[in-house]
Amino acid sequence: MKTMANPQQRLRLGFVGGGLESSIGSTHRYAASLDGHYQLVAGVFARDPERNLAAAQAYGVAPERAYADFEAMARAEAARADGIQVVAIMAPNAVHVPASLAFLKHGIDVICDKPLAASLAQANALLDQVRQGPALHLLTHNYSGYPLIREARELIARGAIGEVRLVQVEHASAFGTHPLEQQGVKALAWRTDPDQAGASSVLADVGVHAHQLLRFVTGQEVSQVSAELSTLVPGRVSDDNAHVKLRLSGGGRGLLWASFVAAGQRHGLQIRIFGSSGSLYWHQEQPERLELRHQDQPHQVLRRGESWLSEAARQATRIKAGQPEGLLEAFANIYSDAAELIKARREQRAPAPLARLCPTAEDGLRGMAFIEACVQSDRQEGHWIEVS
Amino acid sequence: MKTMANPQQRLRLGFVGGGLESSIGSTHRYAASLDGHYQLVAGVFARDPERNLAAAQAYGVAPERAYADFEAMARAEAARADGIQVVAIMAPNAVHVPASLAFLKHGIDVICDKPLAASLAQANALLDQVRQGPALHLLTHNYSGYPLIREARELIARGAIGEVRLVQVEHASAFGTHPLEQQGVKALAWRTDPDQAGASSVLADVGVHAHQLLRFVTGQEVSQVSAELSTLVPGRVSDDNAHVKLRLSGGGRGLLWASFVAAGQRHGLQIRIFGSSGSLYWHQEQPERLELRHQDQPHQVLRRGESWLSEAARQATRIKAGQPEGLLEAFANIYSDAAELIKARREQRAPAPLARLCPTAEDGLRGMAFIEACVQSDRQEGHWIEVS
Amino acid sequence: MKTMANPQQRLRLGFVGGGLESSIGSTHRYAASLDGHYQLVAGVFARDPERNLAAAQAYGVAPERAYADFEAMARAEAARADGIQVVAIMAPNAVHVPASLAFLKHGIDVICDKPLAASLAQANALLDQVRQGPALHLLTHNYSGYPLIREARELIARGAIGEVRLVQVEHASAFGTHPLEQQGVKALAWRTDPDQAGASSVLADVGVHAHQLLRFVTGQEVSQVSAELSTLVPGRVSDDNAHVKLRLSGGGRGLLWASFVAAGQRHGLQIRIFGSSGSLYWHQEQPERLELRHQDQPHQVLRRGESWLSEAARQATRIKAGQPEGLLEAFANIYSDAAELIKARREQRAPAPLARLCPTAEDGLRGMAFIEACVQSDRQEGHWIEVS
Amino acid sequence: MKTMANPQQRLRLGFVGGGLESSIGSTHRYAASLDGHYQLVAGVFARDPERNLAAAQAYGVAPERAYADFEAMARAEAARADGIQVVAIMAPNAVHVPASLAFLKHGIDVICDKPLAASLAQANALLDQVRQGPALHLLTHNYSGYPLIREARELIARGAIGEVRLVQVEHASAFGTHPLEQQGVKALAWRTDPDQAGASSVLADVGVHAHQLLRFVTGQEVSQVSAELSTLVPGRVSDDNAHVKLRLSGGGRGLLWASFVAAGQRHGLQIRIFGSSGSLYWHQEQPERLELRHQDQPHQVLRRGESWLSEAARQATRIKAGQPEGLLEAFANIYSDAAELIKARREQRAPAPLARLCPTAEDGLRGMAFIEACVQSDRQEGHWIEVS
């Protein structure tokens, strides 16, 4: 079980994005601070100078460390003795790679929002840098932080459901049900703008979460796809729904559904994995419950916090079974894993093994290749396409 | 609300199939008798003469009306003054069309199990006969009999969720998880034998239920498919899983998943329909509950039996809200609708309007065209294929 | 698994009550006919002669066997060679005992609605007769007919949850939320009339179901009660809510809640039993699901129809797991058990052991003693009272 | 929606209790830090000096501010210019009042765990001090912090379910299922020791949570009780189960069940409130869901985070609907409300109105009076006792 870290050993953290009006920025601040591993000390919070300063002030950041752009920030912070050790990037997709490169080059570790990049080419370029090291590039695929998702991964690895035959995964939200981007709702405007979001808005925004969840839990890759990307809301300029048939590296099959227009749903991320002897079911809106359904036996309901769960699941929690945890705690697990990986690198020691569950740029690259293959399949009338 | 009919006005019913060991036969007997509209008086219950007689005796059928084959039965019953008025066919798929034709020709109405036929060509041949009349050909797509499915149909027709954009439907059972057909389990053996089941076992057995449910509830047709049919259990000679992307006649999109190998599930039929202003969710294993999820409002949970439901839903039930009904009641609704249609035809009057909700050979034909298109798409690497 | 009986071996059945407008009468007709063990041939369906005849006609009963009162019916039927073998009584509570006695005297077996009587004194008088035999007196405590309730009983008997410490049982419906009896709604009018319902309306109508469920599942008696009976709807002349603390014969404790005014609920019957090592949970509105919650292990969800359930559970079902069954099927189990007990008595053989799960007048007597003790405790300001 | 406060405006906080092995201490640290309103700078974390220092070090507290006892701490901190402004007390029940008094006397605000005191007399003595002011005494009845509990309160106040007739509330956990106190498990040992826990262990530990939830949501008081306190685990020296019938100040009735021995449950806090036109249902293990069940309409499911909820509910949340929140967030709401009340007092301004939802010593006093009345009723064989 986790507990709060000593506040005197916090990593110095910078932000790219995360201004006062940013909902994801608020989530990052909560997640980064929850276990006490980070102190926010610098940032480019907003393009508008006044808003940038206002955010700095609200966050307790010295005004001179509220920078105009990420290049300036990387240079200045790298030059300070008390400069940031790690930067968190939560800007629109197209900024992820250039900002990451700016900090990596100065040896500053990076924690970046998904998707990794705005295109596969951009992602490959980033990986060239990342693989040289020494700085780390970690990805906030936050659903990998849920304790019962880690339990599901362990169960499958241990053979609890036999050989994986089928995976049905979906991230189908409702937030684009109405074309609010046409009324200037910002969060929807940039997500449905191909210049900022990339070739498939719906896959970049929610599809890659579903894709990563499948990979994380099964330990398999999506090797081929047959996809249709659709625009179901009149007047929208990006896609808003994706239906993808999957072939998995282990020989299994799958379906992935990503949507902005699942009216009446909320978050809509769920996964079902069917093996040769049983199946698992998990839904993000009830994250404290994992169903293990053996063929020919009563179904089992596993709960977070129990003593008989795997170490991976037990280590990723803060309060007792029965007292619910939620997204902030899962997201904080990613930040805590990242802290351990970063501290270990800086202290030249091996990290705690479970910290390696933290997603990295390599995972992000798989996501970009998946998007690319889906876009191609859609253009080729649903033909099966290899994921490179 | 329904109540039992006068036992003296029962239709004389014959069976093709439904011997003592037949599980579906037992279900038909319960469903046919529940509302008191039918009396079983003749049949070809089994090929083996002894078993045939044993069934007749157990069912209270006179031994001379236990026939060796359906041709003999059709002839003999048509010649009797007290001969059957209607026959129910519950034999393997390949028997559906020839048996149907044998009875239709004698003016005996037919109630037939799905799928309508073993191939699209066979189905078309049957329809040629059916459309000439006068005898009726009705199909036991029994899930159309659930009160809340009828409510869902009304709600969509009334615009309660706006325009239909997405339908996610699945019938994913677990009964073929283990290759028990190789150990002689009969129910699985004929279903996985292409000669008896047709070109796609999994679509013929469960896929058409999902397809019909979509059509019944939305009032739309599946116009194009991109399908993959897979065999996921080693050694099986038929397919056992189907993933199908759908394009709907109204411009919406969908996914259909049909499976025998969803280990740990039971029956696994569920449907979600997403419109421009809300969505509906129904799962056959909790048939008394229909979720209506308006965007921007609290979700609603509708229950069977309430006074504020549509007439179609209220008319299809027998007991009060809160006291659960199940499959036999839904199946009996199909039989009761069929009784009304048959009696109306024989009395040369218009049937009660709601009885027209009973699925017919026309619905069965759509199902066969759907299977045919999926098989073609699968052979053409997932290409989109028109459903003829 | 059950299947329909040979229609030629049906018991001749009479009704007291159950006219065309009677909802419970309709339920009895469905339940009695489902497995094919009974044929309705006589009755006192309604007091009004025209309604009586109309019901007879609708039910296929000869007009001369539609009697003016139960005494006349008992005499006349006993005198016929083809007279009824068994009578089902579904009249208001105050009629149960006199009608039962009329038929028992003539050796006609009785299937009676709960509660057994309108008072404990009346119940004791009936038992004096019943215990002399030979005719049987069986009680339609229909919830004892659910397969998973029978499974729960087996599990507790086998020690699956250890020693029983706590039972929380409730039957809290909403049907008296509004004082509709003041607007002449008949079903509510007689239930809230102390002359017809007895000393506690709410206990006689729903409380005894909860009490019987507790006894059936745990195999224990309620030995002491501390009760409050309340009238929560202004202007109502009977009680409409009961809160009862329980002490059990095995040393455990319990709470029983019976209500007519649980606004927004539907049927509202559920039970939870907590033992020294685990617990069970069942809710009638989801009768196909039984939760077995071991301390220190994953929870288990048991489903009706599985091969690994007890024989008692497997024998009480008609269709496969995953295809839902409901109340009519549970109620029919009581009727089928009763048929077996009655046939065995008449054939002078031992009945099938599981048929003995059918509740009897002895169970009804325990229910009446429970009501009596609750009424006394309520009058004595909640003092603990022995259940005699 | 909440967001993190400026870290430079944090209140200086001290702890009584909350050492490294304390699970509730960890929860307090998370809750206090989440929104950034507090900085932990002093404490008596453990009796053992080494453990005390170890905790101080781990928490970033200067060693000289790790005190030997709360009296010394209150004196020393009151004397410092940078002394604590507020103390959080999370020691065993018997410590609550003496520690509270020590700090209040010095004008230091108090945030105290429930129950308020070890006896009603002690509670009354504390209130004498609290009512004199100026320092505040606030109580961490943390379940009052859940957004949907605040919504329920608003709904009832607005008449959404009509007049309250019935409340069924329970907090039935399993953590005392086995007598682990006899094996030295500390958390259970002090809770089942009457000297440390007070006259009723089970009411002091969980019963008062249920009692407060009822009061908070309905705005009514429990005016009379009929109670039984039981010891269901052999060898235990305290009670471990309470069954309490309730009479409410508005004329309604209720049942309260508090337990340590609900084997197989986890946390087990839930409430149902039935009014004259509908009901509400909430369960702490699914805190993001509130059922509003109108009689004669579809049930509604309200979700946390929606735009159409009350301001009280919307203000108490940090992330979007569909992304789950949990206990830490609810607990942090109490701490944030407390921060607002404390800052307002110190700044001599009126607090934000919604901060007044924070429970206070007055609520704690009602809880102690409730326990006292239950203990008396139990001793008097379940007689109804006025809650003073």
Tell me the C-alpha distance between C146 and C189, whole Å: 29
Q: Give D5-10 contacts, CB < 8 A, sequence gap 24+.
A: D5/D35, D5/D36, D5/D37, D5/D339, D6/A57, D6/A58, D6/A59, D6/A60, D6/D36, D7/A59, D7/A60, D7/D36, D8/A60, D9/D37, D10/D36, D10/D37, D10/D38, D10/D39
Tell me the C-alpha distance between B33 and D260, whole Å: 51
Contact A6 D60 (CB under 8 A): yes
Minimal CA separation from D272 to chain B, in Å: 18
Would you list the DSSP string of B213-276? Answer: HHHHHH---EEEEEEEEE--STT-SS--EEEEEEEETTS-EEEEEEES--TT-SS-EEEEEEES
Mutant choice from C255, C285, C380 vs D, greatest count of D C-beta within 10 A: C255
Say if CB C227 and CB C242 are below 8 A apart.
yes
Give the model's pLDDT for residue B7: 84
3-state secondary structure C262-329: CCCCCCCEEEEEEECCEEEEEECCCCCEEEEEECCCCEEEEECCCCCCCHHHHCCCCCCCCCCCCHHH
Contact C268 B322 (CB under 8 A): yes
Joined tokens for residue D281: 């249902």
Chains that touch B (3 or more CB pairs under 8 A): A, C, D
3-state secondary structure C113-169: CCCCCCCHHHHHHHHHHHHHCCCCEEECCHHHHCHHHHHHHHHHHCCCCCCEEEEEE
Q: Least CA distance to A307: which residue of chain C? A: C296
Would you list the DSSP string of D62-116? Answer: -GGGB-SSHHHHHHHHHHSTT--SEEEE-S-HHHHHHHHHHHHTTT-EEEEPSSS
What class has domain D144-317+365-386? alpha beta
Task: Report the percentage of chain B scoring pLDDT > 70.
Answer: 100
Contact C302 A303 (CB under 8 A): no
Q: Is B147-317+365-386 assigned to CATH 3.30.360.10?
A: yes
Give ∠ CA A332-A336-A338 in degrees, rounded to 5.
Answer: 115
- Is A66's pLDDT higher than 90? yes
Prediction pTM value:
0.97
Residues of A in contact with D323 (CB under 8 A): 267, 284, 326-327
Give the model's pLDDT for residue D187: 85
**Second-level CATH architecture of A146-319+365-386:** 2-Layer Sandwich (3.30)
Q: Least CA distance to D264: which residue of chain A? A: A322
**pLDDT bracket for residue B187 (50, 70, 90):** confident
Among B18, B137, B5, B11, CA closest to B85: B11
Strand partners, A256: A169, A244
C-alpha distance across the termini of chain A, in Å: 39
Residues of chain D with pLDDT under 70: none
Give the model's pLDDT for residue A186: 87
Chain D residues bordering chain B (beta-carbon distance below 8 Å): 292, 296-303, 306-308
C7-143+336-357: CATH topology: Rossmann fold (3.40.50)
- Is B197's pLDDT higher than 90? no
**pLDDT bracket for residue B186 (50, 70, 90):** confident
Say if CB C140 and CB C29 are below 8 A apart.
no
Half-sphere exposure of A61 (CA within 13 A, CB side): 28
User: What are residue D266's phi and psi, to 5 degrees?
Assistant: -110, -90
Tell me the C-alpha distance between C122 and C207, whole Å: 18
- Return all residues near C143 (Cβ < 8 A) that are at least 6 apart: C149, C209, C212, C213, C269, C284, C330
User: Beta-carbon neighbour count of residue D311 at 10 Å?
Assistant: 11
Residues of A in contact with C306 (CB under 8 A): 298
Mutant choice from D327, D331, D333, D336 vs A, greatest count of A C-beta within 10 A: D327
Contact B322 C285 (CB under 8 A): yes
Give ∠ CA D268-D270-D275 in degrees, rounded to 5.
Answer: 160
Say if CB C177 and CB C261 are below 8 A apart.
yes
Mutant choice from C155, C300, C304, C307 vs A, greatest count of A C-beta within 10 A: C300
Minimal CA separation from C298 to chain A, in Å: 5
**Preceding peptide of C179 cis, ω within 30°:** no
Tell me the C-alpha distance between B161 and B295, whole Å: 9
Tell me the C-alpha distance between C365 and C361, whole Å: 6
Among B250, B289, B295, B297, CA closest to B271: B289
Minimal CA separation from B165 to chain A, in Å: 7
Average pLDDT over residues A98-107: 98
Residues of C in contact with B191 (CB under 8 A): none
Say if CB B266 and CB B250 are below 8 A apart.
no
Tell me the C-alpha distance between D222 and D227, whole Å: 13
Minimal CA separation from D35 to chain A, in Å: 8
Tell me the C-alpha distance between C116 and C120, whole Å: 9
Say if CB C31 and CB C332 are below 8 A apart.
yes
Residues of B in contact with D301 (CB under 8 A): 298-301
Among D285, D292, D367, CA closest to D330: D285
Joined tokens for residue D121: 């007399």
Minimal CA separation from D286 to chain A, in Å: 8
Residues of A in contact with D329 (CB under 8 A): 326, 328
pLDDT string in tens for chain C (388-residue length): 998 998 888 999 999 999 999 999 999 999 999 999 999 999 999 999 999 999 999 999 999 999 999 999 999 999 999 999 999 999 999 999 999 999 999 999 999 999 999 999 999 999 999 999 999 999 999 999 999 999 999 999 999 999 999 999 999 999 999 999 999 898 899 899 998 889 999 999 999 999 999 999 999 999 999 999 999 999 999 999 999 999 999 999 999 999 999 999 999 999 999 999 999 999 999 999 999 999 989 999 999 999 999 999 999 999 999 999 999 999 999 999 999 999 999 999 999 999 999 999 999 999 999 999 999 999 999 999 999 9
Tell me the C-alpha distance between D361 and D117, whole Å: 10
Say if CB A123 and CB A364 are below 8 A apart.
yes
Chains that touch D (3 or more CB pairs under 8 A): A, B, C
Contact D318 A325 (CB under 8 A): no
Residues of C in contact with A303 (CB under 8 A): 298-299
Say if CB C117 and CB C46 are below 8 A apart.
no
Q: Least CA distance to A321: which residue of chain C? A: C296
CATH number for C146-317+365-386 (one of 3.30.1280.10, 3.30.365.10, 3.40.50.620, 3.30.360.10): it is 3.30.360.10
Contact B4 C322 (CB under 8 A): no
Residue among B4, B33, B324 minimizing CB distance to C326: B324
Residues of B in contact with A161 (CB under 8 A): 263-264
User: Beta-carbon neighbour count of residue B189 at 10 Å?
Assistant: 14
Say if CB B118 and CB B44 are below 8 A apart.
no
Q: Least CA distance to B32: which residue of chain C? A: C34
Tell me the C-alpha distance between A335 and C329, whole Å: 54
Q: How does DSSP classify residue C252?
A: -
Tell me the C-alpha distance between B151 and B289, whole Å: 11
SS3 B97: helix
Half-sphere exposure of C58 (CA within 13 A, CB side): 18
Tell me the C-alpha distance between D286 and D283, whole Å: 6
Average pLDDT over residues B247-262: 98
Minimal CA separation from C259 to chain D, in Å: 10
Tell me the C-alpha distance between D108 and C105, whole Å: 83
Q: In what order do the strands lie in the sheet with D137-139?
A: D38-44, D11-16, D86-89, D109-112, D137-139
SS3 A289: strand
Residues of C in contact with D378 (CB under 8 A): none
Minimal CA separation from A368 to chain D, in Å: 24
Quote the crossing angle between the two packed helices B23-34 and B327-346, to the nearest 10°: 60
Tell me the C-alpha distance between B11 and B109, whole Å: 11
pLDDT tens, position by position, A317-360: 999 999 999 999 999 999 999 999 999 999 999 999 999 999 99
Give the model's pLDDT for residue A292: 98
User: Beta-carbon neighbour count of residue C351 at 10 Å?
Assistant: 17
Q: Using CB atoms within 10 A of its CB, is residue C64 exposed (0-12), middle (13-18) or buried (19+)? A: exposed
Give residue for tokens 């709601």. B354
3-state secondary structure D304-338: CCCCCCCHHHHCCCCCCCCCCCCHHHHHHHHHHHH
Half-sphere exposure of D326 (CA within 13 A, CB side): 24
Residues of C in contact with A301 (CB under 8 A): 298-301
Tell me how far CA of residue A99 lies from CA of A78, A104, A127, A180, in angstroms.
14, 9, 14, 29
C-alpha distance across the termini of chain C, in Å: 39
Chains that touch A (3 or more CB pairs under 8 A): B, C, D
Contact D301 B299 (CB under 8 A): yes
Residues of D in contact with C245 (CB under 8 A): 226, 228, 243, 245, 382
Q: What is the mean pLDDT of chain B?
A: 97
Residues of B in contact with A202 (CB under 8 A): none
Q: Using CB atoms within 10 A of its CB, is residue D92 exposed (0-12), middle (13-18) or buried (19+)? A: middle
Q: Is A7-143+336-358 assigned to CATH 3.30.470.20?
A: no
pLDDT tens, position by position, B17-74: 999 999 999 999 999 999 999 999 999 999 999 999 999 999 999 999 999 999 999 9
Say if CB D136 and CB D111 are below 8 A apart.
no
Residue among C243, C254, C279 minimizing CB distance to D263: C279
**pLDDT bracket for residue A269 (50, 70, 90):** very high
Residues of A in contact with B257 (CB under 8 A): 168, 255
Hey, do B7-143+336-358 and B147-317+365-386 end up sharing a CATH topology, with the first three levels equal?
no
Mutant choice from D253, D266, D302 vs C, greatest count of C C-beta within 10 A: D253
pLDDT tens, position by position, A350-370: 999 999 999 999 999 999 999
Domains in chain B: boundaries: 7-143+336-358, 147-317+365-386
> How many B×D Cβ pairs under 8 Å?
30
Give the model's pLDDT for residue B164: 98
Give the model's pLDDT for residue D40: 97
Residue among D23, D288, D329 minimizing CB distance to A320: D23
Give the model's pLDDT for residue D186: 87
Quote the crossing angle between the two packed helices D120-132 and D361-379, to the nearest 10°: 160
Residue among A58, A286, A325 minimizing CB distance to D6: A58
Contact B226 A241 (CB under 8 A): no
Could you tell me whether strands B241-248 and B253-259 are parallel, antiparallel, or unpaired per DSSP bridges?
antiparallel
Contact A279 B259 (CB under 8 A): no
Contact B253 A230 (CB under 8 A): yes
Tell me the C-alpha distance between D183 and A203, whole Å: 54
Residues of C in contact with D300 (CB under 8 A): none
**CA B189, B191, B192, B195: dihedral to nearest 10 degrees?**
100
